[in-house]
Amino acid sequence: MTTRQKLTIVGILVAPVLLGLVLMSLRQSQESSFILTPPGKKIGLVRIFDIIYSSENYVWQLRELRKDKSVAGVIVRIESPGGGVAPSQEIYAEVMRYRDEGKPLVVSMGNIAASGAYYLASPASKIFASPGTLTGSLGVILSFPQYYELMDKIGVKMETIKAGKFKDIGTPNREMSKDERRLLQDMIDDTHDQFITDVSVARSMDIDSLRKLCDGRIFSGRQALSLGLIDTLGGFEDAVGFLRAQVGLSEKAKMMEKRRRHSLWKDVLVQDMFEKLPFLRLARRPGGAYYLLESY
């Protein structure tokens, strides 16, 4: 074995360790200001970024901040095109609990807060967005790959044995039937109606007027304000200032972000790699219906 080959092998073995250490140092630098907070009332912070595949961590953070008596109010910063239907609904339900318990929760929309990200933001006591924020896309999407024509061309066939007419619905191995398409459309229409109903309740909007906006179109923050989908124009600092004034805290009041503690392997080498490397996020996208701006 040559020296170059040995160095290549060593590099391959060492690279994941170095990447893990770098990610860990980045996380520590990001967390330090939120962990070491002095006693007294604080503002809670939850950051919802990227496509929402799971609600578990966001719901946990929101619940912990809601129960924490030292937290006077919470700001949710959103940079997301939406995500899975069920995760969006679960976060929405937790945001609604803030309203039920009378604890202020304000949303600050960043560059994008669309579809499921808008849906979960709708129960907030106040929604801020910049004039150019991309929002809206109030709809549902369910996608299936289809490569049966390619399989026919290369002489590959798939034999399926099933019990139940619709058991292999959505298979890429054959063309979808009219009955299957109708069944899926009915399901998506029902999920869409859930979206419209929940936002109507959260925003106290007339459901028929809202329904006209829920055809998947996107809006700028300024357009969303004119349509009643958000409350005011402003950036993150504007939202923070509003919340501090609402709960009677000075500018010196600290922010606190709740974080779970995991093992090094899960927290850094696995979770952070998926969050920071886009091609890995795409590879793990689960199936199902999405409240999602698909072109993101």
275-295 pLDDT per residue, tens? 555 545 554 567 788 988 976
Residue 210, pLDDT above cutoff 90: yes
Q: How far apart are CA 156 and CA 109, in angstroms?
A: 48
Q: Report the pLDDT value the prediction gives residue 4, as an integer from 0 to 100.
A: 61
Rg from Cα positions in the chain: 23
- Beta-bridge partners for 80: 113
Q: Report the pLDDT value the prediction gives residue 2, as an integer from 0 to 100.
A: 63
Tell me how far apart the terminal alpha carbons of the chain are, to the nearest angstrom. 46
Q: Report the pLDDT value the prediction gives residue 31, as an integer from 0 to 100.
A: 39
Helices 56-67 and 85-101 pack at an angle, to 10 degrees, of: 10
122 neighbors 199 (Cβ within 8 angstroms): yes
Q: Report the pLDDT value the prediction gives residue 30, as an integer from 0 to 100.
A: 42
Which domains does the chain possess? 36-142+216-292 (3.90.226.10)
167 annotated active-site: yes
Average the pLDDT over 75-88 and give the result. Answer: 97
Q: How far apart are CA 107 and CA 238, in angstroms?
A: 11
Helices 178-203 and 85-101 pack at an angle, to 10 degrees, of: 20
* Catalytic residue from among 55, 88, 115, 130: 115
* Catalytic residue from among 6, 167, 212, 266: 167
295 annotated active-site: no
For 255-269, letters b (16+ CB in 10 Å) and e give ebbbeeeeeeeebbb
Q: Report the pLDDT value the prediction gives residue 6, as an integer from 0 to 100.
A: 54
Residue 178, pLDDT above cutoff 50: yes
30 neighbors 243 (Cβ within 8 angstroms): no
Which region, left, alpha or beta, applies to residue 115 given φ > 0 means left and ψ of -120 to 50 means alpha? left
Q: Report the pLDDT value the prediction gives residue 295, as an integer from 0 to 100.
A: 67
Choose among 151, 188, 294: nearest CA to 180. 188
pTM, 2 dp = 0.80
Average the pLDDT over 218-239 and give the result. Answer: 98
Q: Report the pLDDT value the prediction gives residue 32, as an integer from 0 to 100.
A: 37
Q: Report the pLDDT value the prediction gives residue 215, as an integer from 0 to 100.
A: 96
| pLDDT class of 238 with cuts at 50, 70, 90 | very high
Q: Are strands 126-129 and 71-80 parallel, antiparallel or unpaired?
A: unpaired
For 111-149, letters b (16+ CB in 10 Å) and e give ebbbbbbbbbbbbbbbbbbbeebbbbbbbbbeeeeeebe
Q: How far apart are CA 225 and CA 47, in angstroms?
A: 22
Q: How far apart are CA 55 and CA 80, in angstroms?
A: 13
Average the pLDDT over 205-227 and give the result. Answer: 97
Q: How far apart are CA 73 and CA 233, in angstroms?
A: 20
Q: Report the pLDDT value the prediction gives residue 263, as an integer from 0 to 100.
A: 53
